Structure 1
Amino acid sequence: MPGRREDTPALPAILGLAGHAIRWQLLGELARSDRQVHELTASLGQPQNLVSYHLGRLRGARLVSARRSSADRRDTYYSLDLALCGELLAGAGGALHPALALAPPAMPAPPAGLPPIRVLFLCTGNSSRSQMAEALLRRMAGGAVQVFSAGSRPTAVNPDAVAAMAAHGIDLSAARAKHLDEFAGHRFDYVITLCDRVREICPEFPGDPQPVHWSIQDPAVLPDGRPAFRRTASELAERVTFLLHRILRPQHTA
């Protein structure tokens, strides 16, 4: 006599969202870089109203967030919450069968026999965001990545950024703000802008590096002081972790 049949679990929301072709393409684009709507419409070859509709669906599920550009308030950058995507996809597999629950992958080893990957972080002042990203990536990647940072109008490293990094076990007290001109003519595999303004004026670098944009607000302009720097450091640590999973794949593929 057959045993009691378990009820089939309801369809996880992430599968209904990601299972649509346009939304899947949007997730793929935003997994690589923060984007504006006109960039997404160009990449997908779809009309803006359709792209905006599907972005709205993803925002309603909290997978995608929007932030006004600090360079031009008429523009909006869209960002993907990769950590939440991972949680929901893991839960979707586990809902079907416990053996299908996804576990976070181990950090990949750097490709053998290839030179270190070179990454440049850019923001305006090179005082906090790019300095913190540089320090985090250097610690996480070890010798597999050569990492640098600079600014379009460098000032001085912010003491609150130093304090935020100290909470992550990183000493930033000796860091120096640098102008991006110091790296003119240098070759990089990735150039990552963290400031909307510097993205608009980012120079070209030889070797056709992969451009990536993280639209992160300058914590120095936020009213709550050091807590804003701690939040920024946590966001950067998460983004750098996901970045490493991408750039340490064999053959430096993006």
Structure 2
Amino acid sequence: MNIERTGMVEARAARHAALGDPSRLRIVDLLTLGDLSPSEIGTALGMPANLVAHHLNVLEGAGMASRSRSEADRRRSYVRLTDTALQGLVPGREERASRVMFVCTANSARSQLAAALWSTHSTIPAASGGTHPAAHIAPGAIATADRHALELPHEAPRALETVLTSSDFVVTVCDNAHEELHVPGRLHWSIPDPVRVGTDAAFDTAYDELERRITQLAPRLIAS
């Protein structure tokens, strides 16, 4: 077991636990805007001093808040969020990748759009392939890329086995490809096939979902 990673997970769990109380969540909300004294927190939330003290102790224990003495009135203190207060409150697992390989069945739409989108969000190289490649990129995918000023590669769809390497970080973007490959450890995004529907709306929906997921994944992949 990775002791360092376990410690990070435990720290995240402590922060989540600290925010499990609505009053502490409200205190953190206030502190995201600026530093406050305990009495100011109590006034803002209509909370007695002893309860404010309790909640601040919990937040400090979780490493989310710290206090400093006022330079004007040394009897007074101000509470602030620590630099890492909100770190890890969303899933934070990181992976390493030398290249990202996007896979769909035909390599004519979703995987092509995904690879092109990836290059706008990350410096890690990306490629795409299909388990049963089509003869050409779908016109709807080309039109969608044009609408979004996205440059697609000028090459025909490629068979996955001709481009895949053992070090690739594989992301399947269609259910058929994912279930055909059935290899544990690969990422899968279940995105409906816009080619089947054929409308601009279907392609734009696929594009938007790919961009949303890529935006979330890109910061969590480290070049190797």
Whether TM exceeds 0.5 here: the answer is yes
The alignment partner of 2:108 has SS state of coil
Q: What percent identity do the matched residue pairs reach? A: 32
Mapped contact 2:110–2:173 kept (Cα < 8 A): yes
Question: What TM-score results when the alignment is normalised by the length of structure 2?
Answer: 0.55
- Of 189, 197, 205 in structure 2, the residue corresponding to residue 231 of structure 1 is 205
Q: Is residue 140 of structure 2 the alignment partner of residue 165 of structure 1?
A: no
Shift of 1:181: 1.6
Q: CA separation in 1, counterparts of 2:31 and 2:141?
A: 44
From 111, 121, 126, give the equivalent of 2:107.
126
Letter matched to residue 131 of structure 1:
Q
TM-score, L = length of structure 1: 0.49
2:219 matched to which residue of 1? 245
Relative distance call for 1:137 and 1:97 in structure 2 (3 A) is closer
1:94 aligns with 2:33: no
Give 1 or 2 for the bigger CA radius of gyration: 2
Query: In the alignment, is the contact (CA less than 8 A) between 1:94 and 1:102 conserved in 2?
Result: no
Letter in 1 for 2:193: D
Residue 69 of structure 1 corresponds to which residue in structure 2? none
CA distance in 1 between counterparts of 2:27 and 2:201 reads 34
Amino acid aligned to 1:94? D
Structure 1 residue 173: Cα displacement: 6.5
Name the SS for the 1:120 alignment partner. strand
Q: How does 1:171-250 map to 2 (within 5 A)?
A: 171-172=151-152, 174-184=154-164, 186-202=165-181, 210-222=185-197, 225-248=199-222
Letter paired with 1:194? V
What is the DSSP-based 3-state SS (H/G/I as helix, E as strand, rest coil) of the residue aligned with 2:121?
Answer: helix
**Match among 100, 118, 128 for residue 137 of structure 1:** 118
- Return the alpha-carbon distance in structure 2 between the equivalents of residues 92 and 136 of structure 1: 39
In structure 2, the CA distance between the partners of 1:187 and 1:227, relative to structure 1 (3 Å rule), is same
Q: Flag structure 2 segments of 5+ consecutive residues without an equivalent.
A: 1-15, 35-80, 88-95
Cα 1:200–1:166 change in 2 (3 A) is: same
Tell me the number of residue pairs that the alignment of Structure 1 and Structure 2 aligns.
147
Q: In 2, are the aligned partners of 1:123 and 1:193 still within 8 Å (CA)?
A: yes
CA distance in structure 2 between the aligned counterparts of 1:245 and 1:130, rounded to whole angstroms: 20
Q: Helix, strand or coil: the match of 1:157? A: coil
Q: Offset of 1:219 from its aligned partner?
A: 0.8
1:125 partner SS: coil
Look up the equivalent residue of 1:146 and give its one-letter code: P
Q: Secondary structure at the match of 2:119?
A: helix
- Distance apart, 1:129 and its partner CA: 0.4
* CA-based RMSD: 3.5
1: distance between equivalents of 2:167 and 2:126?
A: 9
